């Protein structure tokens, strides 16, 4: 092998090495730039601290999930949540549960204008809320013809109602933390599960963004709780949670609440 050939090989090797290093540097630059330009997701759930030097009251509103449909014990997430909170706070809670099975956001908006419901809201330390499932799934009818345009119209109407609900609740009670428990997809095992999941995630995202505009309104995600092994957490109707499903929701909400004694002045 002559010296000229060796020089050529050496030159090509050096050029190749420089190209590799340049490529690696470019990839790292892209990753670093992306990391700086993509901001972390906003936290929709923060810990709420409640003082325990008075009778603690919870107002529960919404649909069949707050009512506890599907739980043989009849507790639902509200009952299991209160069990956990009472142990944590070493104090009993006073609960008013005005949720109505099958209720839509439009119906809830009408309900919270009632005098007795407003009294319950005004006195509450915590307000629990589930709503939106009936707007979205329409008792299962929406699944018969999954039209994205119709779903978009339904969501726009729902978001308008939710905004009015949030505004009304906050005007009645300016201090209580409102926990709006989010939507899950009970139809994970159906043929159109990818599409239904996409729709549910969009409704959750848009509602959480709306809740973020209000002080002390927390949109609590539940989609991930039911995403895997869905049927293990559903009642026989394959729509409502069973006891285990409600317990998952209760634990998620309970994890956001702490208690403290208010110091005397």
Q: How many angstroms separate the CA atoms of 175 and 104, rounded?
A: 25
Taking the whole predicted model, whether its pTM rises above 0.95 is answered as: no
Are the C-beta atoms of residues 25 and 33 closer than 8 Å to each other? no
- Calculate what percentage of the chain has a pLDDT beyond 70: 75
Q: Which residue blocks in the chain are alpha helix, DSSP H?
A: 3-37, 64-67, 76-89, 105-111, 115-123, 133-137, 148-172, 193-211, 223-227, 243-254
| Region 242-247 average pLDDT | 98
pLDDT in tens, 110-121: 999 999 999 999
Are the C-beta atoms of residues 172 and 123 closer than 8 Å to each other? no
Residue 23 has pLDDT above 50, yes or no: no
Q: How many angstroms separate the CA atoms of 241 and 247, rounded?
A: 9
Strand-by-strand arrangement of the 93-97 sheet: 93-97, 56-62, 126-130, 177-181, 217-220
- Calculate what percentage of the chain has a pLDDT beyond 90: 65
- Among 1-15, 72-86, 188-202, 250-264, the minimum mean pLDDT is found in 1-15
Are the C-beta atoms of residues 49 and 259 closer than 8 Å to each other? yes
Which pLDDT band holds residue 139 (cuts at 50, 70, 90)? low
- Among 77-81, 140-144, 191-195, the minimum mean pLDDT is found in 140-144
* Per-residue model confidence (pLDDT) at position 191: 79
* Alpha-carbon torsion (101, 102, 106, 110), positive or negative: negative
Are the C-beta atoms of residues 143 and 196 closer than 8 Å to each other? yes
Are the C-beta atoms of residues 185 and 133 closer than 8 Å to each other? no
Rg (CA), the chain: 26
């Amino acid at each position: 092998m002559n010296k000229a050939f060796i020089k050529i090989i050496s030159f090509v090797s050096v050029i190749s090495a420089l190209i590799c290093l340049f490529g690696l540097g470019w990839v790292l630059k892209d990753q670093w730039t992306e990391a700086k330009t993509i901001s972390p997701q906003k936290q929709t759930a923060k810990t709420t601290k409640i003082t325990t030097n008075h009778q603690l009251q919870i107002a529960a509103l919404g649909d069949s999930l707050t009512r506890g449909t599907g739980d043989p014990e009849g507790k639902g997430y509200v009952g299991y949540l209160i069990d956990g909170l009472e142990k944590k706070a070493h104090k009993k809670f006073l609960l008013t549960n005005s949720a109505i099975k099958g209720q839509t956001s439009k119906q809830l908006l009408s309900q919270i204008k009632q005098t007795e419901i407003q009294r319950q809201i005004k006195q509450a330390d915590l307000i629990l809320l589930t709503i939106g499932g009936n707007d979205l799934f329409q008792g299962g009818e929406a699944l018969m013809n999954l039209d994205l345009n119709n779903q978009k119209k339904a969501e726009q109407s729902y978001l308008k109602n939710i905004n009015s609900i949030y505004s009304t609740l906050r005007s009645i009670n300016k201090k209580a933390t409102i926990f709006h428990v989010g939507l899950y997809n009970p139809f994970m095992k159906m043929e159109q599960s990818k599409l239904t999941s996409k729709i549910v995630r969009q409704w959750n995202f848009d509602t959480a963004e709306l809740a973020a505009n209000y002080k002390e309104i927390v949109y609590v995600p539940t989609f991930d709780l039911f995403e895997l092994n869905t049927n293990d957490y559903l009642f026989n109707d394959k729509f409502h949670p069973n006891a285990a499903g409600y317990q998952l929701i209760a634990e998620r909400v309970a994890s956001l609440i702490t208690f403290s004694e208010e110091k005397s002045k």
